[in-house]
Amino acid sequence: MGLSCGLVSQEMNTRICKDIVPLTVNCHDQQLVLDPYCGVHWVEQNTLIVSDLHLGKSAHFRKYGLPLPGAVGDNNMWNLSILLDRYRPQRVLFLGDLFHSEHNHEWEQFLDLLGNYQQCQWLLVKGNHDVLDTHLYESGVLQVVNTLQDGPFYFAHDPEELDKEQGYGMAGHIHPCVRLMGKANQSLRLKCFWFNDDFALLPAFGTFTGSHRIKPKRTDRVYVITDTSVRKV
């Protein structure tokens, strides 16, 4: 493969972390660290939460004639390894659409990465794109569930599957973003974390996923992602 998916070197990790400014927010008396690499570190449970990696999507489109660089998949693996090295989680929770479609070589690359972090428990909340055979997930030491209730939170892939009676919701699927306007009418679309009264939506982790513009209410909390920081808007 194009890069080593082993542990990021200490020197490289130190340099990357020095330039990154995550943002810690409180949600139902739990500390959530929102990272510019589109992940959430749930401090109390030492759990890394990411959504919508869509691994294998670039290979899927290349198969059908769209000329996409192989580095798209490499970047996803590299970014995930950076988060794993930064937070050293005991558990990693994927909120659906881990793999985009049919089996291809990026699945083996992903399993190689998991093998370098044997201290982790891996759990997939199944999404609409997670169509691989169950034995493939199980052979990759992934536990697969449809939804998950843990502490004050209720996790699902699609926000339509959330049940506020089960806890404050956390989901993906939508690939949320906002458009910021400048004084000279220039605009910029940025991925974001979106917290409303009932649930939070995570940004898409994958670098080739597209995004959907949200229309938050004034009482919602929206945190946009820049190259190096997460900021409330």
Report all structural domains of the chain as residue ranges with CATH numbers, in order of start.
10-232 (3.60.21)
Write the pLDDT tens digit of every residue in 14-39.
445 568 899 999 999 999 999 999 99
pTM recorded for the entire structure? 0.85
What is the tens place of the pLDDT at every residue in 67-89?
445 544 468 888 999 999 999 99
Detail the DSSP E strand segments found in 64-175: 91-94, 121-125, 142-145, 148-150, 153-155, 168-171
Amino acid residing at 23: L
How many angstroms separate the Cα of 132 from the Cα of each of 97, 99, 140, 173? Answer: 11, 8, 12, 18
Place of tokens 């940004």: 203
User: How open is the CA angle 148-154-158, to the nearest 5 degrees?
Assistant: 85
Q: Which residues contact 25 (CB under 8 A, 6 or more apart)?
A: 31, 32, 34, 195, 221, 223
Q: Is the dihedral of CA 230, 74, 107, 85 positive or negative?
A: negative
Q: What percent of the chain stands above pLDDT 70?
A: 79
Among 126-130, 140-144, 213-217, which range has the highest average pLDDT? 213-217
